[in-house]
Amino acid sequence: MTDSTLDSENAKLLTLAKAQRARNAAAEGAAVRDETGRTYVATTVDLPALKLTALQTAVAMAVVSGAKAIEAAVVVTEEKEFRRADLEVVADLKGGAKQPRLFLADPKL
């Protein structure tokens, strides 16, 4: 996936996720957009007592800020597919019948 394959709103999520990943030198960066258009950006949490993927962290930030649904999410990672846990956390906030748009981006692109 590249910036040119995304609409402007989702390209913004990609830019934010890449920047956060680089800023924290993290394994992953993620950005999500909620049902109101607010964005949340996070990286992997890798502490001895707490391990979260970047997407889990971004969704948690959205939830504690009052989000009821996730509209779209971008994860910048070297993984080739979404982890089951990531798909499940997004499914928890799918907001009715509308399925969130999920994008996986290679950090080398």
Q: What pLDDT does 97 receive?
A: 56
Q: What pLDDT does 36 receive?
A: 94
Domain residue ranges of the chain, discontinuous segments joined by +? 3-105
**Domain 3-105 bears CATH identifier 3.40.190.10:** no
pLDDT tens track for 87-103 = 999 999 887 657 788 99
User: What is the dihedral sign for C-alpha 86, 9, 60, 109?
Assistant: positive
* Sheet strands (E) in the chain: 29-34, 39-43, 45-46, 51-52, 70-76, 101-105
Q: How far is CA 89 from CA 3, 5, 33, 54, in A?
A: 25, 25, 14, 11
Checking if the pLDDT of 109 tops 90, the result is no
